[in-house]
Amino acid sequence: MIEVVKIVNGIYDEKVAPRLHFNKSSVTRGNKFKLHNQTFIYNFRKHFFSARIMNIWNSLPNWVVDVQSVDLFKVRLDIF
């Protein structure tokens, strides 16, 4: 979860960070950094980082993921 916050806030270099595809639709549930739910044909892709973290990340509320620092995210995640 902490790695996703670092990717979203731009702490990692874009060349080395995995590319996350965000959902463009304006859905009222979840957070504003909701990841796009991808379906995979091959079974080995379901173990990728983006596939494993997607459902957990999308279930978090907006007040948890909309932070500017990693430490604040850790505190809010513990509260949630």
Domain residues for 36? Answer: 2-79
Domain count, the chain: 1
* Alpha helices (runs of H) in 1-80, residue ranges in sequence order: 2-8, 49-59, 62-65, 70-79
Predicted pLDDT of residue 79: 93
Classified as helix, coil or strand, 75 is helix
Predicted pLDDT of residue 7: 83
pLDDT single digits (tens) 24-77: 776 656 788 888 777 767 776 667 777 788 888 888 998 998 898 999 999 999
The DSSP H or E segment spanning 41 is none
The answer to whether 51 touches 45, Cβ cutoff 8 Å, is yes
The answer to whether 35 touches 50, Cβ cutoff 8 Å, is yes
